[in-house]
Structure 1
Amino acid sequence: MGVNKKQVRVGLIGYKFMGKAHSNAYRNLPFFFDTEAVPVMQAIAGRDEQGVKQAAEKMGWASYETDWRRLVEREDIDLVDIGTPNNVHAEMAIAAAKAGKHILCEKPLTMTVEESKKVLEAVQEAGVVHMISHNFRFSPAVQFAKKLISEGRLGKIYHIRATYLQDWIMDPAFPLVWRLQKEVSGSGAHGDLAAHIIDLARFLVGEFKEVIGLMETFIKERPIASSSEGLSARGNMEEKGLVEVDDASAFLARFENDAIGTFEATRFAGGNRNGNRFEINGEKGSIRWDLENMNNLEVFFVDDEPGLQGFRTINCTEQHHPFAGAYWPDGHIIGYEHTFINMMTELMKGITCGYSPSPNFEDGLRNQIVLEAVEKSVQDKRWTKIEEILPVASGVEK
């Protein structure tokens, strides 16, 4: 480590799926990116001492805690990374802000708009750097899509159609894991998957104006979970609990810039393991992206020569594609894990320069507003304007 490098001592809360993804990013960031600030894997926290101890040893953390509060209070922690279920995000983030720590939080930011408002107020009052983990923004292909749109290459945007399709809970015998428990997750596919495509839409197209949606729960009861790891779990078929969250959500949207959108999030799309996809159509062209083929961006321009028109495939691994130049020679593809490295590179820049990189907690609040507007539209069976949710939210402008 260079003598002029600023060390950012990280405390990570949670050590399973997202804990693994974040740990990998902290370990590998200095290898690929030459940032003025570098993460130091200081401590990891989890309730199960045996599990968190093993995770610390395997993933390279210097120490561990079994109480997240002790981690937040430690003087040798500069950045608190929250990789836990949704129901504790707000409490942990507010505590970390009051302790003067910078914060990275997994999505969705909180369970409700009201909670998100309080979290945003806490980090603004504390003056700490904050970021929300919407890692898909940081695929080089998505960043290149943003560049094309910002440069006007697609002209006025007409449409976005976005889907996030999975199938991992289609079996009725799949247990009632925390993602299917309303008191822990807040919502189902809507808050887990639609949160990502809402963030991508705001990043690429702009702010939402109004929405109308529907939500459905296909399996009403499931076995109580006895253990879980990542997206797999075991359960007891003799004991069942009610599923109180959605299995699928779908909604239409109008944007402030007059674009329209269709959005679908489900865990019941058989054959789709992780189908995060979007297509954006403008007056001058279109773009398509698919997470399962994440290095490629499909691009179409209306002024291409007749007879040769059609979508071209751009492999976004060349030196002039965002972030790609830090990795391998052109055409040598990167993967899911690198989106986290790219994201945390921006976080290190923010900590160095004293700003909160986007997506930050204001983005998290805005995303939560859209999520709740869709839920309200389902309840009321009508179009719901974003401004109907905005009055309870501070920190964002209408």
Structure 2
Amino acid sequence: MKVGIVGASFARSAYLPALRHVEGAQVVALASGRLESARSAADEFGVPAAYDDWQEMLDRHSPDLVLIATPTDLHAPITLAALERGAHVLCEKPTAMDAREAATMLDKAEGLGRLHMIDHELRFNPNRARVAEMIANGDLGEIRHVNVANIGASWANPAARPKGDWWSLAEHGGGRLGANGSHQVDMLRWWLGPVASLVGQALTVIPNRVDKTTGEPWTATADDVAYFTMQMQTGALAQVFMSGVAANNIGNLTQVFGSKGTILLDNEDEKLLFAKVGGAFEDITVADPLAALPGLNKGIWNVSVVAALRELTAAIVEGRKLRAGATFFDGLANQQVLDAVKKSTATRAWVDLPAERK
């Protein structure tokens, strides 16, 4: 299976190490906005061709599978071009710039009969899969509310980001809402089902920034703080608060409160704790056997990509639909939630979500 990758940074940290453990996958080319980045990653992992033009890469190699890890504003055009050239696609999150683009990507993939996946890799993490199973089995009873907090300091210093950093520019699809919020939304939809309505804000708390090297002032336009409350169709409430401008890193904490018990999951130690009504918390952590594979970068994100890519490539070879993971259907539903947060920011009101496509 010929694999082409667009985006050198995440390719080097996650895709390329993971693909060494995916049977039958051969990376034939890698493209990046900077040719030196593409060549450096390609040389390190023995990829035979490197480009600074993703269209040329697609034309020259006709890959069977394309992995896309670029700024968000490039997701739709690269996805559509790859699909039209006969490739199946894995696209990074957030899906697109808006729901219109996400729907176009979905329609194209379905119309051409291609497999499609959004890289919400934590659907393949054993601890989060355990939570999904426990909720589905009724071990927690009726889910009443969920709290998710993701607090960091990486954007707190006005000189922390270089001028032109796409993560800080709304016109390129940057911001905490897309970067982290999309993962939280996917996890909550996976666990609890569709979102009925929400209220929230995506804010730029530190717009005035300076380049960390030159000292040149510039303006950030993407959100560095985002928070929202979702009412799920089940009636459960889910609250998410994300900040990149705190003075200290607190990390990611997830709390699930049901009528029969409570789940706690902290990314700091990745321990999964469960307490029944009136009982003490017990450690029910599930180890990920993939973490022992050689050459992977540390962290649940990099490890979980292996299982995601194994499932996607197996589905391609076997000519079947995905059995696990987030598809472009999930990507569209996710994007509708992110769009609703932005609408709520402008209107300062609750926003109802449309029915999800299936």
Q: Tell me, yes or no, whether TM beats 0.5.
A: yes
User: Is contact 1:82–1:89 with CA below 8 Å preserved after alignment?
Assistant: yes
Q: How far apart are the structure 1 equivalents of 2:60 and 2:116?
A: 18
Q: How far apart are the structure 1 equivalents of 2:244 and 2:141?
A: 34
- SS of residue in 2 equivalent to 1:378: helix
Aligned residue number for residue 99 of structure 2: 113
Task: Give the letter aligned to residue 268 of structure 1.
Answer: V
2:43 to 46, 57, 61: 57
CA displacement at 1:277 relative to structure 2: 2.6
CA displacement at 1:197 relative to structure 2: 0.7
CA displacement at 1:60 relative to structure 2: 2.8
- SS of residue in 1 equivalent to 2:8: coil
User: Is contact 1:163–1:197 with CA below 8 Å preserved after alignment?
Assistant: no
Aligned residue number for residue 311 of structure 1: 281
Aligned residue number for residue 258 of structure 2: 282
Query: 2:28 matched to 1:48?
Result: no
User: Is contact 2:157–2:245 with CA below 8 Å preserved after alignment?
Assistant: no
| Cα-to-partner distance string for 1:331-388 (whole Å, 9 max, x where unaligned) | xxx842211112112212221332144301111111110011111112111111112x
* C-alpha spacing 1:349/1:292, structure 2 compared with 1 (3 Å): farther
Structure 2: which 5+ residue stretches go unaligned? none
User: Is contact 1:280–1:286 with CA below 8 Å preserved after alignment?
Assistant: yes
* C-alpha spacing 1:338/1:235, structure 2 compared with 1 (3 Å): same
1:125 to 107, 111, 133: 111
CA displacement at 1:236 relative to structure 2: 2.1
| Cα-to-partner distance string for 1:228-275 (whole Å, 9 max, x where unaligned) | xxxxxx4421x32222121101111110001011111110233227x2
Query: 2:313 matched to 1:348?
Result: yes
* Two-structure CA RMSD over aligned residues (Å): 2.0
User: Is contact 2:337–2:353 with CA below 8 Å preserved after alignment?
Assistant: yes
User: Is contact 1:157–1:282 with CA below 8 Å preserved after alignment?
Assistant: yes
Query: 2:203 matched to 1:242?
Result: no
* C-alpha spacing 1:209/1:18, structure 2 compared with 1 (3 Å): farther
- SS of residue in 2 equivalent to 1:347: helix
User: Is contact 1:13–1:19 with CA below 8 Å preserved after alignment?
Assistant: no
CA displacement at 1:76 relative to structure 2: 4.8
Alignment map for 1:1-398 (pairs within 5 Å):
8-30=1-23, 38-174=24-160, 175-176=162-163, 177-185=165-173, 187-224=174-211, 234-237=212-215, 239-272=216-249, 275-294=251-270, 296-302=271-277, 309-317=279-287, 324-325=288-289, 335-336=299-300, 337-353=302-318, 354-356=320-322, 357-387=324-354, 396=357
Task: Give the letter aligned to residue 261 of structure 1.
Answer: A
CA displacement at 1:19 relative to structure 2: 4.2
Q: How far apart are the structure 1 equivalents of 2:22 and 2:49?
A: 20
- SS of residue in 1 equivalent to 2:158: coil
- SS of residue in 2 equivalent to 1:265: strand
Task: Give the letter aligned to residue 145 of structure 2.
Answer: H
Q: How far apart are the structure 1 equivalents of 2:325 and 2:124?
A: 11
User: Is contact 2:62–2:86 with CA below 8 Å preserved after alignment?
Assistant: no
* C-alpha spacing 1:212/1:104, structure 2 compared with 1 (3 Å): same
Structure 1: which 5+ residue stretches go unaligned? 1-7, 31-37, 225-233, 318-323
User: Is contact 1:197–1:276 with CA below 8 Å preserved after alignment?
Assistant: no
Task: Give the letter aligned to residue 43 of structure 1.
Answer: A
- SS of residue in 1 equivalent to 2:332: helix
Q: How far apart are the structure 1 equivalents of 2:2 and 2:57?
A: 11
Task: Give the letter aligned to residue 244 of structure 2.
Answer: R
Task: Give the letter aligned to residue 248 of structure 1.
Answer: V
User: Is contact 2:340–2:353 with CA below 8 Å preserved after alignment?
Assistant: yes
What is the aligned residue count? 349
User: Is contact 2:3–2:25 with CA below 8 Å preserved after alignment?
Assistant: yes
CA displacement at 1:42 relative to structure 2: 1.5
* C-alpha spacing 1:161/1:18, structure 2 compared with 1 (3 Å): farther
Task: Give the letter aligned to residue 157 of structure 2.
Answer: D
CA displacement at 1:64 relative to structure 2: 1.9
- SS of residue in 1 equivalent to 2:144: strand
Q: How far apart are the structure 2 equivalents of 1:381 and 1:151?
A: 37
Q: TM-score, normalised by structure 1?
A: 0.83
